[in-house]
Amino acid sequence: MAADKKDIIVVGAGPAGLVAAINLNREGFNVILRERHDRIGGEPGFHPSVHGTPVDIPGLWDYIGIDCGEAFRLLGDNSKTYVNGKMIGSLDTLMGTRDDNAPKLKIYNTERGHRPTSLDSFLFRIAEKEGVNIEFNNPFKEDDFKKAPNGTIIATGLSQGVYKWLGIDWSVLGGYWAYSEIESDEVSAAAYMGGFSNEYGYSASMNRMWYVLLFARKEVSAENLETFKKVLEECEGRTFDKWKRYNAHAPKEPRLFYKDFILAGTMGGFLEPAFSFGITGALLSGKISAMAVTEPEKAEKEFKRFTGGIPAHMARKREPGYVPGYELGDIWFDIK
């Protein structure tokens, strides 16, 4: 290791933290990846889960330096969009490009959580094989933030405490989710829009698991959950009796650098604003946060390339008559 290279702490062993740790480890740094839980898979209050996301393949894999194809399954034609219980087309209906002749990014499903088939577990196996030092049951507490060395990467952003400790303004997302193991190995997804949420609900399945999430800015009422359950039953012929309630947090604006920290994933605000897609953003920001250690100016430029349009889009979401949509761009998204 070169004399000017120092130890690096990465906080949070989700996809963003794992991608950052793998990349920095490959560059010769002594990476200490700290995870508050006793195993891989993120917050148990949010996972296991399945998510559909647009992905540019192989562009994304080339960018982050990790081929994650094993953890992603192509949706193909098995995707639908419903508005007030009526199907209006596939998930592609929600997505556009600046050039009608440009190829659209394909949509894939991926799993989050602790199961061996998850994206988290896939990246963990790579990190472990390549010698990343992962410390489980080692939460980063308020005092740790006060004495953390410069350049510490914060890759955890769903919990309110981190925002309070860092002094970062946050927004709240609330809702309900449920999942069940199923016999079929189907790969499918559906988006649901209607008066039951100021965001949307969706279902997704892969790896013999069916997952459903209904979320909104601030909160979903019990009455709206009941309405959504009926829509789900009518459209898919199945629903859940028991749902888990969740409350998540996200920063009000994207940042790569804050005080002496480097921010990644949700903490960095790397969330596509129209539909809150976060999986691809987590992978991208993991790479960019690693880049920020060695090439901060280049990393800042790359961060702004992907996230520069987020604040303006978020402002439009609060305007009457807002309709979600975005333009797909290089590797991930260019926001209109």
Residue 315, domain member (yes or no): yes
Beta bridge partners of 246: 175
Residue that is written with structure tokens 């952003």 in the block: 157
Sequence-ordered list of residues with C-beta below 8 angstroms from that of 25, at least 6 positions apart, any chain:
31, 127, 130, 131, 132
For residue 260, the model assigns a pLDDT of: 94
For residue 2, the model assigns a pLDDT of: 45
* Residue 42 DSSP label: S
Hey, what long-range contacts does 267-270 have (CB within 8 A, 24 or more apart)?
A: 267/12, 267/154, 267/155, 267/156, 267/157, 267/162, 268/16, 268/157, 268/303, 269/307, 269/310, 270/16, 270/306, 270/307
Q: What is the pLDDT of residues 85-136, one digit of tens each?
A: 999 888 766 655 444 555 566 889 999 999 999 999 999 999 999 999 999 9
Residue 253, domain member (yes or no): yes
Beta carbons of 304 and 31 less than 8 angstroms apart: no
Question: Please, is 166 exposed, middle or buried when counting C-beta atoms within 10 Å of its C-beta (0-12, 13-18, 19+)?
Answer: middle
Q: Is the peptide bond before 139 cis (omega within 30 degrees of 0)?
A: no
Residue 283: CB atoms within 10 Å:
29
Residue 23, domain member (yes or no): yes
3-state helix, strand, coil in the chain (%, to 5): 30, 30, 40
For 107-167, give the DSSP string. Answer: EEEEEESSSTTSHHHHHHHHHHHTT-EEETT----HHHHHHPPTT-EE---SSHHHHHHHT
Q: What is the pLDDT of residues 287-314, one digit of tens each?
A: 999 999 999 999 999 999 888 888 877 7
Residue 228, domain member (yes or no): yes
When pLDDT is averaged across residues 228-241 and rounded to a whole number, the result is 95
Work out how many domains the chain is built from and give that number: 1
Residue 2, domain member (yes or no): no
Residue 244, domain member (yes or no): yes
For residue 98, the model assigns a pLDDT of: 43
- Nearest to 211, CA basis, from 42, 40, 51: 51
For residue 39, the model assigns a pLDDT of: 93
Residue 9: CB atoms within 10 Å:
19
Q: Which domain holds residue 314?
A: 8-334
Torsions phi, psi of 266, nearest 5?
Answer: -60, -40
Residue 1, domain member (yes or no): no
Q: Whole-prediction pTM value?
A: 0.93
Beta bridge partners of 211: 179, 204
Distances (CA, A) of 281 to 38, 51, 53, 180, 284: 25, 13, 10, 26, 5
CATH number at residue 152: 3.50.50.60
Question: What angle is formed at CA 221 by the lines to CA 109 and CA 187, rounded to 5 degrees?
Answer: 15
Q: Is 61 helix (H, G, I), strand (E, B) or coil?
A: helix
CA–CA separation, 216 and 201 (whole Å): 9
Torsions phi, psi of 326, nearest 5?
Answer: -155, 165
- Nearest to 317, CA basis, from 137, 235, 178, 197: 197
Residue 3, domain member (yes or no): no
Rg (CA), the chain: 19
Confidence of residue 1 (pLDDT cuts 50, 70, 90): very low
Torsions phi, psi of 235, nearest 5?
Answer: -85, -35
CA–CA separation, 68 and 141 (whole Å): 31
Confidence of residue 19 (pLDDT cuts 50, 70, 90): very high
- Nearest to 162, CA basis, from 14, 318, 27: 14
